[in-house]
Amino acid sequence: MAVKVCKFGGTSMADGNVMNCVKKIIDNDKDRKYIVVSAPGKRYSGDIKITDVLYECHKEVAEKGSCGAAFALIRNRFNSIVRELNIDFDINSVLDETEMRINAEKDEDFTASRGEYLSARVMAEVLGAKFIDAEDVIFFDKNGAYDAEKSDKAINEAVRGAEKAVFPGFYGRGANGKVKTFSRGGSDISGAIVARAVNATLYENWTDVSGFLACDPRIVDSPKRIKALSYKELRELSYMGANVLHSESIFPVRKANIPIHIKNTFRPEDDGTLIQPSVYYTPSGNTVTGIAGKKGFTVIFIEKSLMNYQIGFIRKVLSVLEDAGVPVEHIPSGIDTMSVVIESAALKEGKLERILQGIKEAVAPDTLRVTEDIALIATVGHGMSSSVGTSARLFKAMAEAKINVKMIDQGSSELNIIVGVKNEDCDNCIRAIYREFFGK
């Protein structure tokens, strides 16, 4: 029997009317058995996401001992949701208890998780489904990684006998017994965890766009929809900023080869995008599948004559970064040169200066230069390795748009070309590459 796990994002939970659309979607297909929900998101541009309000609540608790004003916003929002849904549900008792626990626990992750908790409680009521608290079934180990074995078992026990069940996304229980959240956008990971635990035939990810688009629709107006992409392409694009799906959400489903279908809650009849395990994936025939970009990187450029003859040179440089506890994104290298690309956020509080000093001491470079405020743009597609002249087209498009290339890295997977440009050139660069390969 087919079993579908459906994750609904923030805009799909934004108000009572959209939640009614969600109910229709679930009622339309009996295979849609397990539902994972986000906290209510924005209802209109300029609106505020419930999770952001909860982070404000936590600040208020930390500063004043309890949350008042910020929690009033949460209370109003959930009261209007229940009113719009016209259901008989005592949301105020749940809110009272939630506010008490937020004030008592004074814990950021716990507070942030309450948006998902509350929307799952409401959605379970709307659907007449069992509510399963993520705190009881999704577990992290002592290193903070999600514990697949323990979670799979608990999820299967919890759903046994339930016709339908609703789970809050975004959080689980840490090894210390306390609520722990994933990083922002993490309900996508929760959906994938449930899909894998119940061995779903499909993981449907319902959002506010009709699929994975060839680039960010906030940068290019109405980009083309990608009909199908592979797990690998998804990983490259989401890691590099296509945040329609959290970049870690493929890991739980990849092992079980469960496809992900991105669908639009507001246009359920649209086809969306199917993300397929590599074994089923058939290339689209396009050279480029998609483009994504991410700002805020720092490049450390190191030059030393005859670097390639010095055994252990790269290791010594990387050891300095390892000792500083800084993850490295890319290491483009030449004969006498190498660069290290690092997320700037990891270099705060004097870390960059300490790293530069460490590199000087470790390898005595001829030149050591730092370029900050770099954006990385990934052009991704399985078709790139087999078509001649892809990089030439890409660089010509950038040159015509008068964008200066600061760094180039062609991934060893031959699945992507990554270019580094100034942060301020990022959006223009994405537009130029899009025009070249998708003709707009």
Q: Is 365 in the site for Mg ion (CB under 5 A)?
A: no
Rounded Cα distance between 84 and 93, Å, is 18
Q: Per-residue x/- mask for ligand ASP, residues 101 to 120, rule CB under 6 A?
A: --------------x-----
Residue closer to ligand ASP by CB (options 51, 379) is 51
Residues whose CB is less than 8 angstroms from the CB of residue 107 and which lie 6 or more positions away in sequence, other chains included:
58, 178, 179
Tokens of 367: 């030149």
Q: How far is the CB of 241 from Mg ion (least distance, A)?
A: 13
Q: Is 10 in the site for ligand ASP (CB under 6 A)?
A: yes
> Using CB under 6 A, which residues numbered 350 to 379 contact ligand ASP?
none
Helix (H) or strand (E) holding 437: helix 426-438
When CB distances are held under 5 to 8 angstroms depending on the partner's kind, the choice from ligand ASP, ligand ADP, Mg ion, none that residue 381 binds is none
> Using CB under 6 A, which residues numbered 218 to 237 contact ligand ADP?
218
Q: Is 293 in the site for ligand ADP (CB under 6 A)?
A: no
Pairing of strands 171-173, 4-8: unpaired
Q: Collapse the DSSP code of 201 into the 3-class scheme (helix H, G, I; strand E, B; otherwise coil) and give the result.
A: coil
DSSP annotation string for 41-57: --SSTT---HHHHHHHH
Pairing of strands 228-230, 273-276: parallel
Q: Per-residue x/- mask for ligand ADP, residues 8 to 47, rule CB under 6 A?
A: -xxx--------------------------x--x------
Phi, psi of 166 (to 5 degrees): -120, 130
Rounded Cα distance between 299 and 356, Å, is 12
Rounded Cα distance between 373 and 377, Å, is 13
Q: How far is the CB of 81 from ligand ASP (least distance, A)?
A: 15
The β-bridge partners of 303 are 337, 367
Residue closer to ligand ADP by CB (options 242, 359) is 242
Q: How far is the CB of 259 from ligand ASP (least distance, A)?
A: 20
- Closest by CA to 427, choosing from 238, 245, 294, 247, is 294
- Identified binder of Mg ion from the candidate list 40, 41, 185, 211, rule CB under 5 A: 185
Per the CB < 8 A criterion, the answer to whether 391 and 435 are in contact is: no
When CB distances are held under 5 to 8 angstroms depending on the partner's kind, the choice from ligand ADP, ligand ASP, Mg ion, none that residue 208 binds is ligand ADP
Number of residues that bind Mg ion (CB under 5 A): 2
Residue closer to ligand ADP by CB (options 244, 429) is 244
Phi, psi of 7 (to 5 degrees): -105, 130
Q: Is 185 in the site for ligand ASP (CB under 6 A)?
A: yes
When CB distances are held under 5 to 8 angstroms depending on the partner's kind, the choice from ligand ADP, Mg ion, ligand ASP, none that residue 252 binds is none
Give the distance from CA 346 to its chain's centroid: 18
- Identified binder of ligand ADP from the candidate list 16, 168, 185, 365, rule CB under 6 A: 185
Residues whose CB is less than 8 angstroms from the CB of residue 64 and which lie 6 or more positions away in sequence, other chains included:
none
Q: Is 186 in the site for Mg ion (CB under 5 A)?
A: no
Q: Which residues bind ligand ASP (CB under 6 A)?
A: 10, 38-39, 49, 51, 115, 169-170, 184-188
Q: Which residues bind ligand ADP (CB under 6 A)?
A: 9-11, 38, 41, 185, 207-209, 212-213, 215-218, 242-244
